[in-house]
Amino acid sequence: MYCSVAQARSAGCTGTDPEVTAWIEAATERITAYTRQAFEPLSMVVVGDVTPGGLVLLPRRVRSVSSVTPLTDGADDAPSLPPSAYRVTSSDVLGQIDAVHLTWGGWDDLIAGAESWAGGWGSLLGEHEQVRVEGEFGTASVPPVVVQACALLAAHIQAQAAPSDADAAQDPTLDVDDEGNNVRIEHTDGPSATPVAASASTGSTQVDALLAGHLNHGPSLIGGV
């Protein structure tokens, strides 16, 4: 989550700790969809296109890569590449980009298609247009502006979800507290395994303005969160 329960309460969120946590998680998901960034270390799988020069741009800030696997048209994927077959750069380093750079030189005589007599990695990778990258993505810590945005958005989402007295009277299934908030919130532990779709807004113009400097205009997310 991008802010604490106490920070969300300071921004106007109310309810029990589990209820406030649910609003924070909803705000975190919206911020992730809007910025197309991960503001905390998160293990995920992404898919990237391979350029003719072997460059694979990644849709999130990369911290480490555990495996790179060429995608095939068949039922089985090709073997994962050894670390010697690629190098990783991260925007954590000023002037660098988030990418996997495939090595066209070199070979591995134990992997079919990558043998020295078959053209090495260049021959194997030349048949694939995409690779699947597994690793850890996101920033080391949540930027202060994102913390503030998450707290404000959690309170904003809660306020939007509060039904009027007329709504509550018409729908007896609403679970409404003394302040008129609908507190029936589905809550699950841990990050969602479902990819978060890109969004044009968080739903709050104030929060959108706070996050303007953190928008990711890189390649679209294909897999992961």
pLDDT tens-digit profile of 157-198? 999 987 655 444 555 544 545 554 444 444 434 444 344 556
Residue whose pair of structure tokens reads 């044009």 in the numeric block: 200
pLDDT tens-digit profile of 19-61? 999 999 999 999 999 998 899 999 999 998 888 778 899 988 9
Candidate from 14-18, 73-77, 112-116, 206-210 with smallest mean pLDDT: 73-77
Tell me how far the alpha carbon of residue 218 is from its chain's centroid: 13
Candidate from 2-6, 149-153, 209-213 with smallest mean pLDDT: 209-213
Characterize 80-97 residue by residue with b for buried, 16 or more Cβ atoms within 10 angstroms of its Cβ, and e for exposed. bbbeebbebbbbeeeeee
pLDDT tens-digit profile of 71-118? 866 545 667 888 878 899 999 898 999 999 987 666 777 777 677 776
